[in-house]
């Protein structure tokens, strides 16, 4: 099958969530890339060439996705993701504190070591939807800020590497932030904010030398 025209003899007709006949998984990857283009347009251009699609395809895929998500009679929950991505690769129960949810994952060819994960709760409501490391795939070794490279790591990986990390609200529903302290290139601790789109690391902001542990503005973790 050629991604240039996005069709094959076995492809279903283009649905309301696909862009001009592109296969659903390709259209969904364009939705992911649309938000990432604000931070790394060069990486997104490389990804478009890999997918053999145009910026017009990217815009159309995003337009159709937004229309699907915000239509007056849109089916919510996990259905929009299933419509584009098909049957999930895995479905498993997961315990989060006192709550039990269902975790569904799909492969994303642009990032073969990652999976797109949707967590659903009561009545299929989506609690979270982002990119995570695939089972068995090697996670990056995060020791200093120099190891934080765009698109190289996930929210969970940064939170573990530079604990304790404090989640902060991002500028859009698909964006997350983590405030944490990490060694800089010379080993000096820095207070910083890591920004993520769809769970994938994008950039650092607010880098300043870390205050001493007994600074009155800092409460050391117990």
Look at residues 75, 78, 79, 30 and name the one whose alpha carbon lies nearest to residue 57.
30
Beta-carbon neighbour count of residue 14 at 10 Å? 17
**Quick check: 211 and 217 in contact, CB under 8 A?**
yes
Flag whether 54 is in a domain.
yes
- In this structure, the answer to whether residues 67 and 81 fall within a common structural domain is no
Three-state SS for 4?
coil
- In this structure, the answer to whether residues 173 and 197 fall within a common structural domain is yes
Flag whether 215 is in a domain.
no
pLDDT at 10 over 70: no
156-174: pLDDT as tens digits: 999 999 999 999 987 788 9
pLDDT of the residue at 95:
85
State the burial class of residue 43 (Cβ atoms within 10 Å of its Cβ: 0-12, 13-18, 19+).
middle
pLDDT of the residue at 208:
76
- In this structure, the answer to whether residues 156 and 203 fall within a common structural domain is yes
* 65's tokens: 């996705």
- In this structure, the answer to whether residues 27 and 70 fall within a common structural domain is yes
Flag whether 51 is in a domain.
yes
What confidence category does residue 135 fall into, taking pLDDT thresholds of 50, 70 and 90?
Answer: very high
| pTM confidence score | 0.83
Flag whether 221 is in a domain.
no
Quote the domain boundaries for residue 163.
145-209
- In this structure, the answer to whether residues 12 and 54 fall within a common structural domain is yes
* 70's tokens: 């915000």
- In this structure, the answer to whether residues 84 and 47 fall within a common structural domain is no
The CA–CA distances, whole Å, from 168 to 41, 83, 164, 189 equal 24, 31, 13, 20
Buried b (16+ CB within 10 A) or exposed e, 154-181: bbebbbebbeebeeeeeeeebbbbbbbe
Q: Which among 137, 155, 189 is the end of a domain?
A: 137
Look at residues 133, 101, 139 and name the one whose alpha carbon lies nearest to residue 116.
133
Q: Which among 137, 157, 181 is the end of a domain?
A: 137
Flag whether 153 is in a domain.
yes
Domain count, the chain: 3
Lowest-confidence range among 51-55, 124-128, 212-216? Answer: 212-216
């Amino acid at each position: 099958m050629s991604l240039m025209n996005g069709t094959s003899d076995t492809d279903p007709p283009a649905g309301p969530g696909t862009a001009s006949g592109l296969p659903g998984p390709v259209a969904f990857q364009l939705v992911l890339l649309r938000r990432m283009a604000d931070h790394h347009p060069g990486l997104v251009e490389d990804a478009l060439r890999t997918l053999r699609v145009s910026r017009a395809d990217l815009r159309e895929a995003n337009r159709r996705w937004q229309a699907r998500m915000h239509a007056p009679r849109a089916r919510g929950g996990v259905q929009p993701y299933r419509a584009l991505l098909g049957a999930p690769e895995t479905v498993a129960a997961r315990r989060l504190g006192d709550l039990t949810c269902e975790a569904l994952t799909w492969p994303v060819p642009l990032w073969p070591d990652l999976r797109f994960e949707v967590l659903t709760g009561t009545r299929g409501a989506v609690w979270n939807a982002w990119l995570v490391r695939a089972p068995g795939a090697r996670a990056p070794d995060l020791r200093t800020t120099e190891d934080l490279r765009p698109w190289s790591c996930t929210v969970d990986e940064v939170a573990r590497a530079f604990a304790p990390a404090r989640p902060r609200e991002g500028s859009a529903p698909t964006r997350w932030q983590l405030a944490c302290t990490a060694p800089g290139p010379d080993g000096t601790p820095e207070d910083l904010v890591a920004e993520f789109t769809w769970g994938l690391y994008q950039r650092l902001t607010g880098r300043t030398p870390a205050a001493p542990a007994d600074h009155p503005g800092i409460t050391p973790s117990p």
